[in-house]
C-alpha cells in the first residue's frame, strides 16, 4: 500500500518564483553598502553605523543583521572605486600644498628625495 500524505497536509507546489524576502534583503544590503560608500567618497572616511542606517532608511538592527560589526560593514564597502576615492582624499589632504611656499617645499622634497 502506498504511503499517502495525511489529509491535513497541503501539497506544496514547486517554487518557480523568487523568495521575495531574500530579494528585499539583498536590495536592503546593497542600499546599506551604497550609502556607506557614498559617505566614504564624500569625505567621511569612517562613517558611523547610525549615519548609514539613517541614510539607507533602515534601523541599526537591520544594519547589524547584515554586517555583524562596524569593521565588517566598512570592509564590505571598500570596493576598488571606493579605495581609489579614499586614496585621492588622503593624498589631496596630505600632499597638495595650500600655499606657494608649501608647494615649493614639496617640490624640493620630492626632487631631493626627502619624501
Cell numbers linked to 60: 541599526
pTM: 0.66
| List of residues 6+ apart from 104 with CB closer than 8 A | none
Beta-sheet strands, E only, within 1-115: none
Chain centroid offset of residue 59 CA: 16
- pLDDT over 60 at 114, yes or no: no
pLDDT band with cut points at 50, 70 and 90 for residue 115: very low
Segment 79-108, tens digit of pLDDT = 878 887 877 776 666 666 567 777 666 655
Cell numbers linked to 82: 571606493
Segment 19-52, tens digit of pLDDT = 888 899 999 999 999 999 999 888 887 889 999 9
Q: Is the dihedral of CA 25, 28, 29, 30 positive or negative?
A: positive
Amino acid at each position: 500500500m502506498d504511503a499517502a500524505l495525511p489529509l491535513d497536509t497541503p501539497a506544496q507546489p514547486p517554487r518557480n518564483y523568487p523568495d521575495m524576502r531574500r530579494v528585499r534583503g539583498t536590495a536592503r544590503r546593497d542600499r546599506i553598502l551604497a550609502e556607506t560608500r557614498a559617505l566614504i567618497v564624500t569625505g567621511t572616511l569612517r562613517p558611523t553605523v547610525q549615519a548609514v542606517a539613517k541614510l539607507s532608511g533602515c534601523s541599526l538592527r537591520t544594519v547589524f543583521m547584515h554586517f555583524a560589526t562596524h569593521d565588517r560593514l566598512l570592509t564590505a564597502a571598500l570596493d576598488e572605486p571606493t579605495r581609489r576615492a579614499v586614496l585621492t582624499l588622503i593624498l589631496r589632504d596630505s600632499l597638495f600644498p595650500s600655499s606657494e611656499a608649501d608647494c615649493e617645499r614639496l617640490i624640493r622634497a620630492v626632487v631631493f628625495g626627502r619624501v
